[in-house]
Amino acid sequence: MIGTPISELPLHTPTRCVIRRFSEYLQSNVDALAALLDNGIEPGVEIMATIGKSAVVLANSRASATVPLAIACSVHVEATGTYGAV
């Protein structure tokens, strides 16, 4: 499998990452997938992800989306650093 489920990132720590893929579950959830794509959240895009207890904030230079953790765990990423890391 390519990438790590976003739900495995550190809690409450803004983390830079590149989206590697969406799971089949997310790909079949038309509404959730459309909401991400409409905000520019798609494979190959660099984002800042902040994991909360029940939701994840995914942000890029264009927009941000708050996604329930149950959906966000279907987004697989490659972490590239944490916010403020040099």
**What predicted TM-score, i.e. pTM, was given to this entire model?**
0.86
| Residue showing tokens 């942000």 | 59
Q: Is pLDDT of 68 > 70?
A: yes
CA distance 3 to 18: 9
CA distance 21 to 29: 14
Mean pLDDT of the 58-85 span: 87
**Per-residue pLDDT reduced to its tens digit, 19-55:** 999 999 999 999 999 999 999 999 999 999 999 999 9
Q: Is pLDDT of 12 > 70?
A: yes
Higher-confidence residue of 80 and 85: namely 80
- The pLDDT value given to residue 86: 41
Region class of 77: left (phi > 0), else alpha (psi between -120 and 50), else beta: beta
